[in-house]
Chains A and B, each alone.
Chain A
Amino acid sequence: MHLTHLDELEAEAIHILRETAASFERPVLMYSIGKDSTVLLHLAMKAFWPAKPPFRLLHVDTTWKFREMIAFRDETMRRLGLTISVHINQEGVRQGISPITHGSKVHTDIMKTQALRQALEAGHHDAAIGGARRDEEKSRAKERIFSFRDRNHRWDPKSQRPELWNLYNTRLGERESIRVFPLSNWTELDVWIYIHRHQLPVVPLYLAKDRPVVERGGMLIMKDDDRLVLAAGEKVETRRVRFRTLGCYPLSGAIESDADTLEKVIEEMLLARTSERQGRLIDHDQSGSMEEKKREGYF
């Protein structure tokens, strides 16, 4: 008797979520609205049904997310009868940090990495669950499922605990914490096929539609609001586009596409020749840059 690989991945993720609930005092689920978070939240609902997931949901908002993402977040919480805490780095807001004027590196550091640390510390969270996958990026290929962080939320690739079988070591010292990645063994295709199989609602930005975009630095940036000021020579055009990954709108490159259904999205992905993170500015700052960010505490 065999389970299919998707059934096996689902069972593993549910096991990890339950293990987290059982082993930590104040776990938190980091919900970031995208496709991976969609699957993660669905699995959390399933793991604890008929009870609600026994941990807080948290969204670290950079204030630069697509408006449709925020609307989708609020609708999802209403639909599932959940509440979510939203944390914004107010210090960053006061300083007027923006991905456009400060660049992706500074913006990501202050509005995401620092903001996340603030939120985890304020909530005294000993475990933070995230939707990261090992196939996303090279430095994640060695990531643990229960990834140890020191008192300063730093990740040291050399001090990670070996993980054998499904016997996770969740012991922590004072103020240490663990990041938990239930989707570690899922690929991008697995995520989409799971969404398709269960017909899970996703942010409409994943599906192709006529949208106002600006060509900038070789990427198509959507003009989601007036904060995106056009430079000389730039113009807003309407193009049929969609997004493979979603982040802050000035940092997320759209792709031209006609894929307006889940099936077409999957077909397009199967034929694609580039990886999903290619459209993300932050990974290209410098060679090995995701590794650097992780060391500093980026999710």
Chain B
Amino acid sequence: MSAPFSKGQSVSEYLERYESNDLLRFLTCGSVDDGKSTLIGRLLHDSGRIYEDHLRAIEAASRVHGTRGGEIDLALVVDGLKAEQEQGITIDVAWRYFATAKRSFIIADCPGHEQYTRNMATGASHCQLAITLIDARHGVSRQTRRHATIASLLGIRHVVAAVNKMDLVGWSQERFREIERDFLEVCRKIGVGDPAAIPVSALTGENVVTRGANTPWYSGSPLLELLESIPVEGQSAESPFRLPVQYVIRPTPDFRGFAGSIVSGSVKVGDRVRVLPRGVETRVRRLARSEEDGGDLVIAHAPSSVLVMLEDEVDCSRGDLIVGGGGGAKAAEAIVAHSFEADLVWMVEAPLMSGAEVLLRQGTRTTNARVVRVKHRVDVDTLESHVADTLALNDIGRVEIEAEVPLAFDPYASVQGTGAIIVIDRLTNATAGAGMIRTGDALDPHTKRAHWETMPVATLDAPHGRSLVSGKEREARWRQRPLSVLLFGKPGSGKTTAAFALERALWDLGHAAIVLDGQMLRAGLSRDLSFTDEDRSENLRRAAEIAKVLNEHGVVVIMSLVAPDPIARERTRQLVGEARYLEFDCGKVAAAAVVAAVMASLHG
């Protein structure tokens, strides 16, 4: 569909104007009964044109399936599949296109009946605005609340209530104001940024495309005018630069370009950038483009697809994220971590259980991941959280996810392009869930634990291999393999006693060993930490880092900490290295047994 054009108008002028149109993607939600299809049919019919052959097909279908007693049923303009026409329901998101002289539009038409959450989330993920249909006779319903909730979760700021069937309530201003008040109140509670309500009749066309005579008391814009004038959220100069690398283009040995779509912000030739998760910093050398296409770019903005060449020969491939460097708003830090919390929409019949092994897609990276736990489920009708450890089809809940490799991301509320995830079932390959990485307080307790995963900021290359003394020489000198021994258990389990007994025994046999005691650490290095789970985990991490350094120098380290969290202990094992790690639960193993086991390991 296209903007009205009349004979005699200049084509080149028309083209110029059409080419400068921007694009608004919006969704419509509501059930068939609310008159949603009729509203879309009306928008398409009254604003652009419905082709004559389509109209004839609709007229024919109206006689068979129509609900308008043989009259043309505009709802049939948009009811797609044959199966659906027969059942009188729409089962999937349908896409519609039209343009006016001011703007081009893509409509994601979301059915209101079954699978509403899944379908609406799908539609909303592509849109900047949502229209929710409200039947003027019934007012704001549970469904309206659901729509506003899902729109808000998916980051849509503009939610418009089309209060439909005003003809059936006698064009009552009083009725409209009542519904408007309820709707704005719902939006306020949910936190919708920019709500609006319009009294319409899709059937008669009142306030859809043009203002009608029946609502003189309504001073706002008709729906189409609102759609044409609402500001499309552009990229401000302040948006952080984010480019997930999609594909490396390397036609010759001396041309290496990184292809991808800018999901946020902008980039200029010469800008300092960093490649995450490793964090290597370099500069943009070229924004390459062919001569026929106008040659290289100087600057590029989201959502352009670009080809970036970097100054240095850095390690960079699909899945990596190029971000702004060198300070300023554009260089705002992305988070690099293995785990995060997200709001997840579950989309398949088989429920999600805590501990599920899944495939995770975030940015251009797909990796194995584990849903560590489901924390709670959100009731989309009341917005209350309920403790839950599973999510069923169409549920929305908060989950904690841990990926196999470090990911570079942002909270969804800051950058959608890096904060959105999908979860794929490893057996069926179905898209099982879609999620929004959380921001704010919810993430805070985890940022400390996330030190296990955060990458060092400035150290690009550790001075590996610079020491003039080799590991072999150290082993020969001390006549021992370096070990990290963790003695853990509740206070009073005897771990400290066992630790010092072990140290004495090793010393007596001529070995080099040292004790890192939890309480000792807390008196100094860890004096900023409390006794929460997260801080206990962080205390263990610090001990492990010291143990690792001492092991590098050939020394045996005996750690004595409470360390109740098996995940943190597993991370300790990974950090110091499988071959050098031993752990003993002092609640279960006697000190003598510990000494014997360590002695046996010392000589490998």
**Chain A interfacial positions (CB closer than 8 Å to B):** 1-12, 14-15, 18-19, 21-22, 46-52, 134-135, 138-139, 141-142, 157-158, 160-167, 169, 171-173, 184-185, 187, 189, 193, 196-197, 263-264, 266-267, 269-275, 278, 287-288, 291
In contact, A169 and B80 (Cβ under 8 angstroms): no
In contact, A187 and B82 (Cβ under 8 angstroms): no
Give complex CA distance A197, B119 in Å.
Answer: 36
Which residues in chain B, 118-151, are within 8 Å of chain A measured between CB atoms? 118-119, 121-122, 125-126
In contact, B251 and A287 (Cβ under 8 angstroms): no
Q: Given A141-B95, A164-B422, A266-B15, is A273 in contact with B51 using a C-beta cutoff of 8 Å?
A: yes
User: With A162-B431, A187-B2, A291-B81 given, can you name 15 additional A-B contacts, CB distance below 8 Å?
Assistant: A3-B303, A3-B304, A22-B246, A49-B290, A141-B78, A162-B121, A163-B431, A164-B420, A165-B417, A167-B361, A187-B99, A196-B15, A270-B2, A274-B51, A288-B85
Interface centre among A10, A14, A197, A269 (most CB of B within 10 A): A14
**Cβ-based interface call for B266 (8 A):** yes
**Cβ-based interface call for B507 (8 A):** no
In contact, A172 and B429 (Cβ under 8 angstroms): yes
In contact, B97 and A161 (Cβ under 8 angstroms): no
Within 8 Å by CB of B125, from A165, A187, A263, A274, lies A165
Within 8 Å by CB of B52, from A138, A270, A273, lies A273
In contact, B431 and A142 (Cβ under 8 angstroms): no
Q: Given A142-B94, A160-B92, is A169 in contact with B424 using a C-beta cutoff of 8 Å?
A: yes
Cβ contacts under 8 Å, A162 to chain B = 118-119, 121-122, 347, 431, 434
Give complex CA distance A240, B22 in Å.
Answer: 37
In the assembled complex, the CB of A130 is this many whole angstroms from the nearest CB of chain B, namely 16
In contact, B420 and A165 (Cβ under 8 angstroms): yes
In contact, B18 and A193 (Cβ under 8 angstroms): yes
In contact, B19 and A169 (Cβ under 8 angstroms): no
Cβ contacts under 8 Å, B20 to chain A = 4
Give complex CA distance A47, B237 in Å.
Answer: 26
Q: Classify the interface of chain B: helix, strand, loop or mixed.
A: mixed
Q: Which residue of A lies closest to B64 (CB)?
A: A287
Interface Cβ pair total, 8 Å cutoff: 195
In contact, A22 and B122 (Cβ under 8 angstroms): no
Give complex CA distance A203, B499 in Å.
Answer: 84
In the assembled complex, the CB of B261 is this many whole angstroms from the nearest CB of chain A, namely 5
Using an 8 Å CB-CB cutoff, how does the interface string of B252-296 with A read, 1 for contact, 0 for none? 000100011100001000000000000000000000111001000
In the assembled complex, the CB of B35 is this many whole angstroms from the nearest CB of chain A, namely 19
Cβ contacts under 8 Å, A185 to chain B = 95, 97, 106
In the assembled complex, the CB of A78 is this many whole angstroms from the nearest CB of chain B, namely 17
In contact, B95 and A169 (Cβ under 8 angstroms): no
Give complex CA distance A163, B103 in Å.
Answer: 25
**Cβ-based interface call for B54 (8 A):** yes
Give complex CA distance A139, B76 in Å.
Answer: 13
Cβ contacts under 8 Å, A288 to chain B = 81-82, 85
Total count of chain B residues near the partner, CB < 8 A: 83
Q: Given A51-B250, A274-B53, is A1 in contact with B234 using a C-beta cutoff of 8 Å?
A: yes
In contact, A50 and B249 (Cβ under 8 angstroms): yes
In contact, A4 and B19 (Cβ under 8 angstroms): yes
**Cβ-based interface call for B5 (8 A):** yes
Using an 8 Å CB-CB cutoff, how does the interface string of B95-106 with A read, 1 for contact, 0 for none? 111010001101
In contact, A171 and B359 (Cβ under 8 angstroms): yes
Using an 8 Å CB-CB cutoff, how does the interface string of B288-310 with A read, 1 for contact, 0 for none? 11100100000001011101000
Give complex CA distance A48, B234 in Å.
Answer: 27
Give complex CA distance A194, B49 in Å.
Answer: 21
**Cβ-based interface call for B581 (8 A):** no
> 9 shortest A-B CB distances, which residue pairs?
A288-B82, A5-B23, A270-B5, A51-B251, A14-B305, A171-B429, A5-B104, A275-B51, A164-B125
Within 8 Å by CB of B97, from A11, A142, A165, A187, lies A187
Cβ contacts under 8 Å, B1 to chain A = 135, 187
Q: Given A162-B118, A164-B122, is A50 in contact with B251 using a C-beta cutoff of 8 Å?
A: yes
Give complex CA distance A197, B292 in Å.
Answer: 13
In the assembled complex, the CB of B403 is this many whole angstroms from the nearest CB of chain A, namely 14
Q: Which residue of A lies closest to B412 (CB)?
A: A165
Cβ contacts under 8 Å, A275 to chain B = 51, 53-54
